[in-house]
Structure 1
Amino acid sequence: MHPECPPGAVPFRDLQCALYNGHPVLGTQKTYQWVPFYGAPNQCDLNCLAEGHDFYHSFGRVLDGTPCSPGTQGLCVAGRCLRAGCDGLLGSDAREDRCGRCGGANDSCLFVQRVFRDAGAFAGYWNVTLIPEGARHIRAAHRSRNHLALMGGDGRYVFNGNWAVSPPGTYEAAGTHVVYTRVTGSEETLRAAGPTSEDLLLQVLLQEPNPGVEFEFWLPRERYGPFQAQAQAQGWSLRQPQPREVDPQSPESPAAPTVIPPRTPGPTPDPCPPCPDTRGRAHRLLHYCGSDFVFRARVLGRVRQAQETRYEVRVQLIYKNRSPLRALEYVWAPSRCPCPPLALHRDYLLAARRLISPDGTQDWLLLPHAGYARPWSPAEDSRVRLAARRCPL
């Protein structure tokens, strides 16, 4: 394989076009500045565009070893574009298999393919699968008004996190390009070539019952056992079928034995970490001014599932509201360990934001992490009324 040019180097084809800068061509004394043109039929001709003009000129063949086009492995030799195989030889038919091995037969990795069918009882984020380090040819798809979400190994969302829908496009994650597409209507896909340099977590943000999220990837054999064990510890393997292990190029070959993890109890989850200190006048003003709702409410119920906590509250007194509040509301906290936590059967002063799904079918009250949620007292009531004067509606 030809070596990569150092950063900042002028591409080889650009240099060849630049050789004609300032020299008369086309039978006149007029001169031009030339840059490569890639829209001509033969990509191994030296086709150069006159800068500032709408025509190009062919100066014959490019020199041997010129890339056929930017970003490809093919090279021009004697006016023909020869593709390089994964073995580094021009004209070679050697290709990487699904495991990333040059000339391999897909026997050093396993194909994981499942359908996540859990249907949540309420809207929110649900874990679909862990995508382990080393995964290749990753694909996920569904047809619904729900949204795929991808979280990196540092706990930060790559897209569609924190109840906000991201635009379709190409995202960088775990050392690979993740292509996220959303077709007008109800189809979403995620694709990545891999290999991933760290674990990723695929989730689905439910807005309606889940019709099924299909996902697949290829995983090195040595990573398959730990992946299964971790899936069992998270409880996913109890809700989903075992992965299929196939070799699509050799359908008659026997499948590799399924790895069955030992049925031992999963590790006890870590307790919730302590919440940050959110006291102080500045914090109160920040959340009062930035919120859509400030109200006093009694906590009637609490449900923890997936990546959210849902509180059922009775609204008792409204200080600020940008749209009507009902007597009974659901308030969502985007974590199983919300900060600050709300105790059952207690009254709180809450500052919440309003989130509406892109199609307008879902309307949530969101309590931000480390937001404003104080036990109600006459003193707290006075403080929030003072805040209202500094930051009116």
Structure 2
Amino acid sequence: MRNKPWIYGLLAVGGLVLASAAAVVWLNLRGEAPAPQLLAAPGAVVAPASPALLEKGAYLAQAGNCMGCHTVQGGAQYAGGRPVDTPFGVVYAPNLTPDAATGLGRWTPDAFWRALHHGRSQDGRLLYPAFPYPQYTRVLRKDSDALFAYLQSLAPVAAPNKPHALRFPFNTQAALAVWRALYFRPEAWSPQAGESAQWNRGAYLVQGLGHCAACHSARNIWGASVDEALLQGGMIPLQNWYAPALGGVPEGEDAFVRLLQTGVTDAASVSGPMAEVVFRSTQHLQTQDLQAMAQYLRTLPAPPVQKASMAKAGDALLGAQLYSQHCAQCHGEQGEGRAGAFAPLAGNRAVNLHDGTNVVQMVLQGGYPPATAGHPRPHGMPPFSHVLSDAQVAAVSSFVRQSWGNGAPAVGTMEVYRVREKRAPGR
């Protein structure tokens, strides 16, 4: 053995591998007690849920925008099949209807709670975090049960779940287990002492079912949220829209509530992915819940101010000409907008974001606020991707971001090129 030191090295490596594997297993099982019942008996008769419980569950489903992800365009509600693009491949949302063969018909409240709180399916498989259990883990058990009762009350739809299309090794449970060991920890929600009931309600909705951090936080190269609690903003993977920081609620509480209820205010409107969130989710939330969210977000730190780069003189002149030709008719010569129709660009928070992606997206593909009960006929903005070159889009975007008191960084031609090339087909 003295002449074979490599054996000791091999044993050491083997021991390290075994210890690492054991650590990953332990980290994936921490806090997870055996569930009393995961599989409903065939033909089991379940007592009908009360109308109050079903009403609560329906409201929670809207707060979590469950139908938005679990309904394919033109398909049955909650029957799954909608693709969720990720940097690692495509994840398909499963069927949430109570079909026994393809949906949640054989699930139990315990199994559903385990999925939300621990990110583990009924059969023990680890779930991919495209299903935002890193946020849903904070959902209270009583709310999980109400949500499950509502889903069980839906009409069953036979819709087999589509297999995910993820690249190797991301399509393996082993790789997912390592990711979870590094970036996921089950977390029980508890109110924060010293804060009001309204503040805690807002924090619960933002951090939990609202899963705001899934979009409004930056992600590392492995897809894990960075500084999730701060909601400092980040690029939405593959959708190429920038979700702005939410700290400070700069719009003011009343404007924030109106924006999430109607999709528009006198100074702003929502477009892109947020338009769908307002349409399917936040417009249906109670005013007091939106006020609670605003109160919580107001206490988070605002993002740091970053230095802006100015557009070149030639680009500024071109931008002014393009604005006068294509934009001023609706948005005004001084970016003042038109009350009740077009939001002002002067002082507009979205226009002044340090990241100019959203302005470029709006110029390229237009802007379409959602039709809501409070604003059923919103005015849209036509796309200019077929009219303007990359250099022209950069010039007019920079002009808007640096005029009438706006002080955001200039947009470069290469930035426009990247946005144009990354736009998803059909968007």
Short-chain TM bin: under 0.3
Normalising to structure 2: TM-score of the pair? 0.23
Higher helix share: 2
Normalising to structure 1: TM-score of the pair? 0.25
Higher strand share: 1
